[in-house]
Amino acid sequence: MWLVEASLAIKEIVAMYDEVKDIVYCYVYKDDFNEESPQSIGEWYPPYNHETFYKTEGAAIDYRNAKREEFKEMMPKVKAFIERMENVESTDDFKFEKEDYLGDYASGRDNWWERQYDEMKAKYRRVMLVMKNGMMNINADSFKLSEVVRVEWNNVKYMKDGKQKTKEAATVVLKDGRKVRTRLEAEYEVVQAFFGENLSNRIYNVKEESEDE
């Protein structure tokens, strides 16, 4: 098959594909695929956000070109909108934050890199805890990896600042029946690192009343 990545780069791939449901479950780049020994592939990738898949290179190119034209048309509109919003003030009857239309870019690139560093440091500390003591720390619980019997993959809906948001999480089920769900992105990624990613195309939906980050 052919993959159009989020960057709009086109790559040839070998995919685990359900022809009836038209779903790609996972893939590997064609250059990394060994036809004589497919079991030797180190890692198959799940589909990521904004990735699309096609049966022919021509269809992938058509999609890529259409997206380029769409983005070219949108760019001046987005630029004009952002510049216009710089002069609009939040009021009692029209409340908003910069994050509402700029997302992570509202805080500036320097702060973005700082957040990336903090997240990497948090993941490093959790990985080192496992490597040194065999213990994993999630939320307010620490437990041995050997106590884990399974992992449930979640899509969590929660309220923050009066708005409904969603995030990915993982619920670790222990031998004694206790369940511990990740709260931070670093916790979620460490669970993925040790127990693998969810390749089933299924999730447990969870709804929380509120969450304080």
| pLDDT tens digits, one per residue of 39-74 | 767 678 888 889 999 999 999 999 999 999 999 999
What is the spatial distance between Cα 25 and Cα 197, in angstroms, rounded to a whole number? Answer: 12
- Whether the per-residue pLDDT at 79 is higher than 70: the answer is yes
From the number of C-beta atoms within 10 Å of its C-beta (0-12, 13-18, 19+), residue 3 rates as: buried
Its pTM stands at 0.51
The answer on pLDDT for 28 being more than 50 is yes
* Band of pLDDT at residue 34, cut at 50, 70 and 90: confident
Rounded to whole angstroms, the maximal C-alpha distance in the chain is 66
pLDDT for 171:
94
Q: Does position 38 have pLDDT exceeding 70, yes or no?
A: no
Return the percentage of the chain with pLDDT > 90, whole number.
39
pLDDT level of residue 144 (50, 70, 90 thresholds): very high
Whole-number mean pLDDT of the chain? 86
pLDDT score of 163: 72
Residue 213 has pLDDT above 50, yes or no: no
Cβ atoms of 30 and 14 closer than 8 Å: yes
Residue 105's pLDDT band, with cuts at 50, 70 and 90, is confident
CA distance 206 to 154: 7
Q: Is 61 within 8 Å of 3 (Cβ atoms)?
A: no
Backbone region of residue 22 per phi and psi (left: phi > 0; alpha: psi in -120 to 50; beta: other values): left
Type of residue found at 27: Y
Out of 23-32, 68-77, 196-205, give the one with best mean pLDDT: 68-77
- C-alpha distance across the termini of the chain, in Å: 40
Q: What are the tens digits of pLDDT across the range 153-195? A: 998 887 776 677 788 899 999 999 999 999 888 899 889 888 8
